[in-house]
Amino acid sequence: MMTNLNISLSDTMREFIDQQLQAKGYSSADEYIVDLIRQEQEKEAQKQIEKLLLEGLNSGEPIEMTEEWWTNKRKEVIDRINQD
């Protein structure tokens, strides 16, 4: 579902958008603004991933991930799946 959003821009902002349309090949101001929002969403998602990774790194003692560790982890996951 798509919704409309009306915004007011200064003349200089509209001129900037028009320049970006030509320079970057956007077909409309809508396409340009939607792309800017999508880029911002991706940045926020990346920040969240980095936050979670740091939490994981700081969550306890480090574990050496050897082939034996991976074998055991795979077995644990398979056993968990088979219990369902």
Q: Of how many residues is the chain composed?
A: 84
Residue reference for tokens 């056993």: 79
Phi/psi at 3 (5° precision): -120, 155
Q: What pLDDT sits at residue 81?
A: 94
Average pLDDT of every residue of the chain:
95
Q: What is the mean pLDDT of residues 68-73?
A: 96
Q: Do residues 21 and 14 touch, judged by C-beta distance below 8 A?
A: no
Could you report the per-residue pLDDT of 22-43, keeping only the tens digit for each?
A: 999 999 999 999 999 999 999 9
For residue 84, pLDDT beyond 80: no
Q: Residues 53, 55, 60, CA angle at the centre, nearest 5°?
A: 115
How far out from the chain centre does Cα 76 lie?
30
Question: What's the CA gap between 55 and 5, in Å, rounded?
Answer: 37
Is the confidence at residue 50, as pLDDT, over 80? yes
pLDDT at 75: 96
